[in-house]
């Protein structure tokens, strides 16, 4: 988990230059899964999509939410890093590749016949013989 601090203090990850914003106004917790929680630690309040947060209570947020600090300053989501994005993308690609490999394995016999049609198979149906596959000339 990565914690982003938001406030007026120069030591915060995201600094908001506004006297109504507290020195340490809020914390944003970023989880590897992509989940995010915002915790208000201010005296002038924080709102999510117009709804006032209760102080020191974590609220789940998404990047499309409108977050306002002290009723005046909005969070600019492009300022919030996503340190786990490349890891999540890699995991998704690995799962896609595993799913494709699983599908190929499930149909391996059918694929052999399509991709490697070199063997001849002789069957007897109703007294007649049939040849399948490549014939030599």
In a domain, residue 132? The reply is no
In this structure, is residue 128 part of a structural domain? no
Please count the other Cβ atoms lying within 10 Å of the Cβ belonging to residue 55.
Answer: 13
pLDDT tens digits along 24-38: 999 999 998 889 999
**What pLDDT, on the 0 to 100 scale, is given for residue 117?**
63
Q: Do 72 and 89 belong to one domain?
A: no
60 and 73 in one domain? yes
pLDDT of residue 130: 56
> Residue 107 domain-assigned?
yes
Q: Which residues of the chain have pLDDT under 70?
A: 115-137
Query: What total of structural domains would you count in the chain?
Result: 2
Any domain includes 129: no
State the sign of the Cα–Cα–Cα–Cα dihedral 34, 40, 42, 48.
positive
State whether 38 and 74 are in the same domain: yes
pLDDT of residue 114: 72
Predicted pLDDT of residue 118:
60
Same domain (yes/no): 6, 62: yes
Answer yes or no: are the C-beta atoms of 29 and 36 closer than 8 Å.
Answer: yes
pLDDT at 105: 85
Q: Are residues 43 and 100 in the same domain?
A: no
pLDDT at 20: 97
Same domain, 70 and 106: no
Instruction: Based on the fold, state whether residues 70 and 90 are members of the same structural domain.
Output: no
Residues 13 and 71 in one domain: yes
CATH number, residue 15: 2.60.200.20
Count CB-CB contacts under 10 A for residue 30. Answer: 18
Confidence at residue 133, expressed as pLDDT on a 0 to 100 scale: 56
Is position 74 within any domain? yes
The range of the structural domain enclosing residue 104 comes to 84-117
- Measure the CA–CA gap between 83 and 2, rounded to whole angstroms: 8
């Amino acid at each position: 988990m990565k914690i982003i601090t938001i406030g007026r203090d120069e030591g915060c990850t995201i600094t908001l230059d506004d006297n109504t914003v507290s020195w340490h106004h809020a914390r944003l917790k970023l989880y590897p899964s992509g989940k995010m929680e915002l915790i208000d630690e201010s005296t002038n309040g924080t709102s999510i999509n117009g709804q006032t947060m209760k102080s020191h209570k974590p609220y789940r947020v998404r990047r499309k939410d409108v977050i306002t600090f002290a009723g005046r300053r909005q969070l600019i989501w492009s300022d919030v890093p996503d340190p786990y994005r490349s890891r999540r993308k890699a995991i998704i690609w690995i799962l896609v590749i595993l799913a494709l490999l699983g599908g190929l394995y499930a149909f391996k016999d059918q694929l052999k016949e399509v991709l490697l049609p070199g063997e001849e198979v002789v069957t007897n149906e109703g007294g007649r013989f049939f040849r399948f596959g490549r014939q030599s000339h």
